[in-house]
Chains A and B, each alone.
Chain A
Amino acid sequence: MTPLNRATFLPALATLLVPLAIGMIFFYAPLEKSMGIIQKIFYFHLSLAGAAFLSFFIACVSGIMYLLKRQRIWDARLAASIEIGVVLTTLVLISGSLWGRPIWNTWWTWDPRLTTSLILWFIFASGLILRSAIDEESKRATFCAVMAIIGFVDVPIVFLSARLWRSIHPTVIRSAGIGLESSMLVTLVVSMVAMLVFCAALFHLRCIQHQQESTVRDLQQQLQL
């Protein structure tokens, strides 16, 4: 697939999948008995969390690759994945809080899952601030790569937190299997695929933008010399 095809294919697929997922959430998936309609937040809440974890994984791999190869493309991938991961984690925290208010009767509680998620957000958000504060390109990329590798350690901790410690956060993916009815599971899978395709399109776009910005900066420096 040529780069131009990929640039149009992913957004086009996301445009089809996202409305399909929303339609399935409201018209196909049944109402959950104990929580009622508020449970429908869960489909995109979990999809956003899954996509955020994948973004941070890509950031970690890109960080390792940058430290090994020192190529700009890995720094572009690193920056794009951290940025997307932070946006997604912000939305996970907001949507979770909006689910928690009617179900737990509180906007926020220091539950292990919530606390580790907030720490994850702080780690990568500080990485973005660090990135914007350093002018020297190689130093900025190195700091960011190291931070992404260290920060990724929190991802499995977030995932396992509800099992490792006493938590009130619901766990869908358990060692015994996935605790969902088949129509809910199909809706969840479609929502996850839709969110992953949407995020892949964003990631691709942001990587191209980072590369273009670097090229423009180089040209500016060359012209000023």
Chain B
Amino acid sequence: MEHSTYLIIAYMAIWSGLSAYLFWLSGRQRQTARRLEILSNQLKRQENRS
């Protein structure tokens, strides 16, 4: 393989690795938002009952 091919693969690996981590973070953020929504719905139901 040419040196430039290794360079391209290295840059792709670095930035796709960092992008994958960012996507994982956004997934966790969505999960937390969903859990918070479920909790606020539960809280509303408890308030309505009381």
Contacts and interface: CB of A to CB of B under 8 A. Distances in A.
Contact of B6 (A102, A202, A205, A209): A102
Given A216-B35, A223-B46, A41 B25 contact: no
Interface stretch (A2-10, A86-94, A177-185): A86-94
Given A36-B3, A95-B10, 13 more contacts: A37-B3, A37-B4, A41-B10, A45-B10, A91-B14, A91-B18, A95-B14, A101-B6, A102-B6, A202-B22, A205-B25, A213-B32, A219-B36
Interface residues of B, number: 24
A48 interface: yes
A220 B7 contact: no
Interface in B1-48: 1, 3-4, 6-7, 9-11, 13-14, 17-18, 21-22, 25, 28-29, 32, 35-36, 39, 42-43, 46
A79 B3 CA distance: 37
Nearest to A96: B10
A56 interface: no
B5 to A, nearest CB: 9
Main secondary structure of the interface of A (DSSP, over half): helix
B9 A216 contact: no
A152 interface: no
B13 A98 contact: yes
Contacts of B21: 87, 202
A131 interface: no
Contacts of B46: 223
A44 B39 contact: no
Interface residues of A, number: 29
17 contacts: A37-B7, A38-B6, A41-B7, A41-B11, A44-B14, A87-B21, A91-B17, A94-B13, A98-B6, A102-B1, A206-B25, A209-B29, A212-B36, A213-B28, A213-B32, A216-B35, A223-B39
A91 B6 contact: no
Nearest to B42: A223
A99 interface: yes
Nearest to A198: B18
